[in-house]
């Protein structure tokens, strides 16, 4: 029996509405792929069998046959999904305890996709056709339901979800295929709080009232197969939680260092990188660390190697969400790597003529629309409105975006070359450019009084 890895989603910065997308509730549960064959198998993201922990889901055998389904297992308490109880249920192995918990806190399996039907793979079929096949292939039961979705109205649906106490919504492009194991720009998670699944590589020695526990957990994410340090988290657990956590952590102690690039201001106990935790955070610092991280809990249903750096790096999700690549000649999102600090300015004859300044940074083109063009004299100031990040391929783009598409109009390269950043901070960017027309020092300064995305661009003195 072929086993599938679930398709994963990129985080999106904000909700949006679009005719090309559908929107579903983002549930706080355990992702599970079900193989309803001669024998039923329900497997987590790290391929652990779940049928023993959730026997009530065996009703799948009566609701469908010869299918492979993707969905989320949740446990509801007081009208909300309760991950803590769900995790307790997943860990229970004693038959009496399993039977008791399944009666007191029954699980619900919310199915949102179908990957196989009657032995035929459906991965390359567009999402909306898979949804139709799913509806015709699976009956709903007491513990099994099909995910409800809406079309177009993502912003209103997001606000409604938050009003119900839910953590957010999922956005999925109607024409998207199913990409097993890939974190795709065609599935987006939109949450009020940013979170990241991180691998725990160690912990620092505790001081003061934490002397018997630990100071902070050392966190990392994988960039390909290489772990990258993304910071430490020391908040989100009580003293009692810390003592219990330390008992769990110490089972994974090793002598050798397991992660490079960690500042060693305190003694570190290194761990085998096998534990995954969910961490909330406010933003990402310029050097790629989590800002104001808060520990949310262990995620034993997730594989450490699925904890990849693209969770926190720019995902170009807003760029992809606004474009229909079957109609626009603009480049789709791909894996092109940066080759340095390039810049481009594009003359954009849209509804109104403006110029787009794009600076390569962190694998994307940070972009600003400059309505009156790039300043040419020292001291001249121009309004520059920050827009969505663009893929690196866009620095070569020239062409006409058709009517009805976002940014419709003709685009041509006005200038290009290399730049060297001097300062890159949240509210100020200073850089030196060497292009065919632009040369010298330029400064971008956040213009908060005029709006969150508004900056001032001016040419500095030599």
CB 227 within 8 A of CB 313: no
Please state the φ and ψ torsions of residue 85, each to the nearest 5 degrees. Answer: -65, -40
Which residues in 45-92 belong to E strands, given as ranges? 67-77, 80-81
Q: Output the CA–CA distances (angstroms, integers) from residue 284 to 221, 309, 374, in the order listed.
A: 13, 12, 29
Place of tokens 């663009």: 390
In the set 2, 26, 232, 366, the catalytic residue is: 26
Task: State the Cα–Cα distance between residues 460 and 462, nearest whole angstrom.
Answer: 7
- Token pair recorded at residue 292: 């104001």
Interstrand relation of 80-81 and 67-77 (parallel, antiparallel or unpaired): antiparallel
Q: How far apart are the first and last CA of the chain?
A: 67
Given 3-state DSSP classes, what are the helix, strand and coil percentages for the chain, each rounded to the nearest 5?
20, 45, 40
- Token pair recorded at residue 427: 């509210």
CB 248 within 8 A of CB 241: no
Cβ burial, residue 365 (10 Å; 0-12/13-18/19+): buried
CB 312 within 8 A of CB 363: no
Is 26 noted as a catalytic residue in this protein?
yes
Q: Which residues are catalytic?
A: 26
């Amino acid at each position: 029996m072929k086993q599938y890895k679930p398709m994963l989603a990129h985080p999106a910065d904000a909700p949006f509405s679009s005719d090309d997308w559908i929107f579903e509730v983002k549930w706080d549960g355990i992702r599970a792929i079900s193989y309803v064959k001669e024998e039923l198998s329900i497997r987590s993201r790290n391929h652990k069998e779940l049928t023993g922990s959730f026997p009530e889901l065996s009703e799948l055998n009566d609701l469908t046959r010869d299918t492979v389904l993707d969905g989320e297992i949740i446990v509801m308490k007081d009208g909300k999904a309760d991950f803590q109880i769900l995790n307790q249920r997943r860990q229970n192995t004693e038959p009496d305890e399993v039977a008791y918990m399944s009666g007191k806190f029954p699980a619900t399996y919310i199915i949102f996709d179908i990957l196989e039907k009657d032995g035929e793979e459906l991965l390359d079929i567009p999402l909306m056709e898979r949804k139709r096949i799913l509806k015709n292939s699976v009956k709903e039961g007491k513990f099994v339901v099909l995910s409800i979705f809406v079309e177009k109205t993502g912003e209103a649906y997001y606000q409604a979800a938050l009003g119900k106490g839910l953590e957010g919504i999922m956005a999925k492009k109607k024409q998207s295929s199913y990409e097993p194991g890939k974190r795709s720009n065609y599935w987006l998670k939109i949450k009020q709080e940013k979170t990241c699944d991180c691998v725990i590589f160690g912990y620092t020695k505790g001081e003061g009232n934490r002397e018997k526990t630990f100071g902070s957990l050392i966190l990392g994410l994988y960039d390909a197969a290489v772990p990258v340090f993304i910071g430490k988290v020391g908040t989100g657990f009580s003293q009692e939680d810390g003592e219990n956590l330390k008992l769990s952590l110490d089972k994974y102690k090793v002598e050798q260092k397991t992660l490079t690039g960690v500042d060693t201001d305190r003694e570190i106990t290194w761990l085998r990188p096998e534990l995954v935790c969910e961490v909330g955070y406010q933003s990402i610092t310029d050097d790629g660390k989590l800002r104001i991280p808060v520990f949310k809990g262990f995620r034993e249903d997730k594989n450490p190697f699925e904890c990849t750096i693209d969770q926190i790096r720019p995902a170009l999700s807003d760029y992809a969400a606004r474009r229909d690549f079957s109609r626009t000649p603009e480049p789709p999102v791909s894996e092109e790597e940066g080759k340095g600090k390039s810049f481009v300015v594009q003359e954009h004859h849209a509804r109104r003529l403006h110029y787009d300044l794009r600076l390569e940074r962190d694998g994307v083109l940070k972009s600003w629309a400059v309505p009156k063009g790039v300043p040419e004299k020292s001291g001249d100031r121009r309004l520059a409105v920050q827009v969505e990040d663009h893929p690196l391929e866009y620095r070569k783009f020239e062409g006409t975006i058709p009517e009805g598409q976002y940014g419709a109009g003709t685009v041509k390269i006005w200038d290009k070359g290399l730049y060297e950043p001097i300062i890159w901070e949240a509210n100020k960017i200073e850089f030196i450019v060497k292009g065919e027309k632009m040369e010298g020092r330029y400064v971008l300064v956040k213009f908060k009084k005029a709006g969150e995305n508004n900056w001032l661009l001016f040419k500095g003195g030599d």
